Structure 1
Amino acid sequence: QSVYSSFAMRSTATALSLLSLAPALLASPTVKRCTGTISSLADIAAAIKCTTININAFTVPAGQTFQLDAPSGATVNMLGDVIFDVSAWAGPLFQLTGTGITFNGNGHTFNGQGEQYWDGLGSSGTTKPHPMMKIKSSGTFTNVVVKNSPQQCFSFGNSAALTVSKVTVDNSAGDAANSLSNGAAAGHNTDGFDVSVSNLIIEDSTVHNQDDCLAINKGSNIIFQRNTCTGGHGISVGSIDSDVTVSGVQILNNVVTNNDNGLRIKTKAAATG
């Protein structure tokens, strides 16, 4: 009798344990080996249930973020250009998250229409969405063109290793003055790559802008190699704030032309430690 009772108690405990797990199992999102297609923001929720995501040409409505929370290991392909409609708001315009993501732009363009924001004042002027591209994924991000960012172009928040390659940042139109810039270059504070993370490689890319090509504010194990920087403020380590560490940085085989600086280290005047 005691053996039977003990067995019954163990069986009941096991059943209860399985029942307690049921809500968690039911709550887990289902990701299938399928291809999801995004032709508008309304398509994103269904597309991210697939391991392959294709982005067609479309226009993102003003004041909204194209946020793509890709499932782990997903492949994302651009099949057309994405244009962001214009609105004075904080941004970002595009945000990518996920672990082990393969993002291939196939030479297509994210167009921020910065020419409709630029006033020669950057962050001191009218409100402009920034950064244009917020990349918080790990994996690879390649073969993408980003045109006319309203202000800063790329920032990174990857928690694991990320390689960015064959990216073009084209803010060359910002070199010219416009009706709002009082004779100065209309583009301003159009940083190419702002880095505050670790384990990042940026390579074989091109930046034409009016501010830092690369600005490393903190982080470690950062490689910037075989890139071309034109028209801006060069390659910068900083501005570095108090008690912030930048280490393990390699700047290799880059071409810097028509910039205010080649390579510089910037610290904030009040910084300590």
Structure 2
Amino acid sequence: MTAYLYYLGGVILFIAAASAVDVSSLDDLQAAKARGDRLITLRNIEVPAGKSLDLSDFEPGTKIEIAGKITFGLAEWGGPLVLMKGQALTIEGKGGSIDAQGSRWWDNQGAKGKKKPLTVSMQLEDSKVIGLLVKNPPLVAIAVNKARNLEITKATIDVKEGNGKGALDTKGVTIRSSTNTKVLDSTIDNQSDCLLVDRDVNQVVFERNTCNGGNGVIIIGGGGEIVRDIQIKHSKIIGSNTGVSIKPAKNGKGLQGIILDSIELKDIKTAGIWVSQQAAGSSIRDVTVNRVEGNVLPTGTNMIVNVPLDPNNQNWNWFSKIWGGKKSICKGIPKWCNIKCL
């Protein structure tokens, strides 16, 4: 414990500030929880096979710093390797990493092959995760689930080592059953979806991020609620199969309030923007596409919009400047929408 003395207006103030507690094992972590420590520094930790680094059950206001290399024993299980759960937590990378060493699981089959663990599960409320480095996840890197008011900034998801080495379905960030999630100023280099907006989600901001490789940004929207207010802004998508895909699930309630703004596409392989709808009823409403610009490779398609003639698909406002690739496919575009099929 560090103590500070302040002299203010003739009164001496005694203020105690917590010093960081070093954690180098799961036993150290459990002891820190039992003591109610509020500032915790994770050093090099080897997590046993089949167990999680459990960052839950901390008091609100706790700060956890990742200063060492976190590694894990090998087991075929669902994970998560790291569980982050709680309220009003700050989790910050301080030169450390979560290194899942995914090559031990990669088998070119992704989710269909041997059982592979989720790397980081985030079930956080009113919390911030800053500067997190996740290396070589076996499958999904970060899964946000049942979160509220979560901000992820300056994250790095690095799966470059998996290129050509069996890595598949290494999704960057997936979001499900959550409200008000922000992913900012982050870099994702992987072989699957950079960002996947899944079921029962509202209020997502994905801004100032870079996606390298993989499948780009995918907005699915399933579950029992309309997926609402999804903003993809000021980001770069480079060398991905698609730039942005909007594909509401057949069993979902649809999408409403999708904003794609100031997105740079480079060397996209399949389609710059791909909008599809499996069945009328899972409608797509209130879509704004503004300044989505860049190139598609010659083997790809400039843009694909393939939706049924659904009167509930309304209020699409569209400006994009995508060049290259084969002629766009445009079917079912709502009336008065200003999409230019090139």
Change (3 A) 1:270 1:102: closer
Q: Distance in 2 between matches of 1:157 and 1:241?
A: 14
- If each structure's helix is expressed as a fraction of its own residues, which one has the higher value? 1
Q: 1:162 & 1:129 partners in 2: Cα distance?
A: 23
Partners of 1:46 and 1:155 lie apart in 2 by: 27
Tell me the amino acid that sits aligned with residue 102 of structure 2.
G
* 1:138-153 alignment, distance < 5 Å: 138=125, 139-153=127-141
Aligned-residue CA RMSD in angstroms? 1.7
User: How many positions carry a matched residue from both structures?
Assistant: 232
Name the structure 2 match of 1:230. 212
Structure (1 or 2) with the greater strand fraction = 2
1:76-87 maps to which residues of 2 (within 5 A)?
76-87=64-75
Q: How far 1:244 sits from its partner (Å)? A: 3.4
- Alpha carbons of structure 1 residues 242 and 199: separation in structure 2 relative to 1, 3 Å: closer
Structure with larger RCO (C-alpha < 8 A, sep 6+): 1
Q: What is the match of residue 9 of structure 1?
A: none
Indicate conservation of the 8 Å contact 1:86/1:113, yes or no.
Answer: no
Structure 1 residue 36 displacement after superposition: 3.1
> 1:106-127 CA deviation, whole Å, 9 max, x = no partner?
1321011101100111010011
TM-score, normalised to structure 2's length? 0.65
What is the rounded CA distance, in whole Å, between the counterparts of 1:158 and 1:102 in structure 2? 17
The one of 38, 41, 59 aligned to 2:23: 38
Q: Distance in 2 between matches of 1:136 and 1:60?
A: 20
Deviation at 1:158, TM superposition (A): 5.0
Q: Percent identity?
A: 28
Deviation at 1:270, TM superposition (A): 5.2
Gaps of at least 5 residues in structure 1 are 1-31, 178-185
In structure 2, what is the equivalent of residue 241 of structure 1?
Answer: 222
Asked if 1 retains the 8 angstrom alpha-carbon contact of 2:122 and 2:147, the reply is no
How much does 1:269 deviate? 4.2
**CA shift for structure 1 position 144:** 1.4
Partner of 1:109: 97
Structure 2 equivalent of residue 91 of structure 1: 79
Amino acid at match of 1:37: D
CA distance in 1, matches of 2:222, 2:133: 31
* TM-score computed with the length of structure 1 as normaliser: 0.81
Distance 1:221 1:254 in 2: 17
Q: How far apart in 1 are the matches of 2:191 and 2:139?
A: 10
Q: Is the 8 A contact 2:144 2:174 kept in 1?
A: yes
Choose the corresponding residue for 2:41, options 38, 54, 73: 54
Q: Which of 191, 208, 211 is 2:192 aligned to?
A: 211
Alignment match, 1:5:
none
Matches within 5 A, 1:18-33: 33=18
Distance 2:251 2:41 in 1: 47
Contact 2:174/2:197, CA 8 A, preserved across alignment: yes
Q: Deviations over 1:207-249 (max 9, x none)?
A: 01111000001311110000000110000101x3353321111
- The answer for the alignment partner of 1:252 in structure 2 is 233
AA in 1 matched with 2:27: A
Runs of 4+ in 1 over 6 A off after TM superposition: none
Contact 1:226–1:253, Cα closer than 8 Å, also in 2: yes
2:172 maps to 1:187: no
In structure 2, runs of 5+ residues without a counterpart are 1-16, 253-280, 283-342
Q: Which residue matches 1:261? A: 242
